[in-house]
Amino acid sequence: MSFESYPPPFRNLLQPPLSSPAQILDSGWGALNSDPIPVVDLQCLELGDCKLLEEPCKQWGLFRLVNHGVPESLLSQAQDYARTLFSLTFESKQALITSPLSYFWGTPALTPTGAALSAEKLQNINLVEGLNIPLSQLPRFQTDDPRIASFWYVILPSQFCFTLYPKLFGSIFKYITTLHIGSWEQYGRHLARIGRTLFKGMSTSLSLDPIEYESNLSESTGLVRVYRYPHWPSKYKKENKSAWGMDVHTDSSVLSILNQDEVGGLEVLKDNQWFTVKPIANTLVVNLGDMMQAISDDEYTSVKHRVKVNEYRERISICYFVFPGENSVIRSSNYKPFTYRDFQEQVQKDIKTVGYKVGLNRFKLRDAC
């Protein structure tokens, strides 16, 4: 572990990792069968079995996705690039990661331009660093650094790759690209495809109006957040201080799709009980966000979740988020009509003034409470 790669306020909290047994990712049906988290098979959904979404979306607001069609090598390749990128010094990350990408730390709450919302207004600093990648703005991105460019390419939907390839990348990157383009360009496409299929299944299951279905999920809003959580030294544990990578929250998205490495730390709340979402090889984790709860008129749940930092090892996770079109109006009987833009503005205001996100309750009709 290199201390220089961490934001200065994290450094005096860290100490060299204690040796820990190598962790091996659980895999196979045995691991899935002994796990309380519900499992959804994307292939069954593609064949039209939308009923299988009901219990996970209503009772949990979260499920594990299998048979998602993303090659395992692509999932781990993205994690490897993220690890390399975060191992750059803090100062290089600040200098190299420029608009439309952004580098943030201490909180996952960002302004619309991707900057971290002022940490002193937040209740707690979270032990997390992140890279924010708004997919539709990639054509503006330019860098010659092959480490960033190659990570970048993993995420990029294919149409952008081909348009930008000649303009953006230097000769080293061109070489790397030639070797890997076939697999890298698939990553962005796969996540958009999965989001689309899931939302279609949910809309069918909820009998949503097809016109609402079109406007409530806007692929052009898709963004990727890449996170690194440092390990948490045991001396702090002895002092009984708690350490969170991310405080309890709900996502503001329609859907969030998570690719996590083997370290683990994600927990979800169901019926007042916290459950660990342990890493299982070749599975993705899907969260329903606030927009999905509103679209479904509270039939589905925007799940409360949090991330604990690991005592021994840093963790990488990569999350794809998709939202409604900024100006498309969400109409449901429990909420006053609002757009995602209204919602975001309210969230930003609440974080600045009260220190946390109030969320959907701001839009709930009184009679519906």
Determine, following the binding rule CB under 5 A, whether residue 290 of this chain makes contact with Fe ion: no
Q: Which residue, 296 or 317, has its beta carbon nearer to ligand AKG?
A: 317
Angle at 112 between CA 108 and CA 114, to 5 degrees: 50
Residue 246 or 351 having the CB closest to ligand AKG: 246
According to the binding rule CB under 6 A, does residue 307 interact with ligand AKG? yes
The site partner of 63 among Fe ion, ligand AKG, none (C-beta below 5 to 8 Å per kind) is none
In the complex, residue closest to ligand AKG by CB = 317
5 vs 317, beta carbon nearer ligand AKG:
317
Using the rule CB under 5 A, give the single segment among 23-31, 44-52, 169-177, 246-254 that binds Fe ion: 246-254
- For residue 190, the partner it binds in ligand AKG, Fe ion, none, with Cβ less than 5 to 8 A by kind, is none
Residue 319 binds to ligand AKG (criterion: CB under 6 A): yes
Give the whole-angstrom CA distance, residue 259 versus residue 286: 9
In 3D space, the residue among 142, 203, 199 whose CA is nearest the CA of residue 168 turns out to be: 142
Count of residues interacting with ligand AKG (CB under 6 A) = 12
Structure tokens at 233: 């030294």
- Residue 317 in contact with ligand AKG, rule: CB under 6 A: yes
Q: Which of residues 233-292 bind ligand AKG (CB under 6 A)?
A: 246, 251, 258, 260, 266
Query: What is the Cα–Cα distance from 174 to 71, expressed in whole angstroms?
Result: 23
Residue 256 beta carbon to ligand AKG: minimum distance, rounded to whole angstroms: 6
CA 35 – CA 39 distance, rounded (Å): 9
User: Would you count residue 132 as binding ligand AKG (CB under 6 A)?
Assistant: no
Dihedral angle sign, alpha carbons of residues 348, 350, 353, 354: negative
Name which of 5 and 102 has its Cβ closer to Fe ion. Answer: 102
Residue 108 binds which one of ligand AKG, Fe ion, none, with CB within 5 to 8 A depending on kind?
ligand AKG
Q: Which is nearer to ligand AKG, 206 or 309 (CB)?
A: 309
Using CA atoms, how far residue 118 sits from 95, 101, 104, 148, 356, in Å, is: 19, 18, 11, 26, 12
Contact flag: residue 251 with Fe ion (CB under 5 A): yes
Strands 129-134 and 218-229: antiparallel
In the bound state with Fe ion, the residue whose beta carbon lies nearer, of 212 and 251, is 251
Name the site residues for ligand AKG (rule: CB under 6 A). Answer: 108, 225, 227, 246, 251, 258, 260, 266, 305, 307, 317, 319
Name the site residues for Fe ion (rule: CB under 5 A). Answer: 251
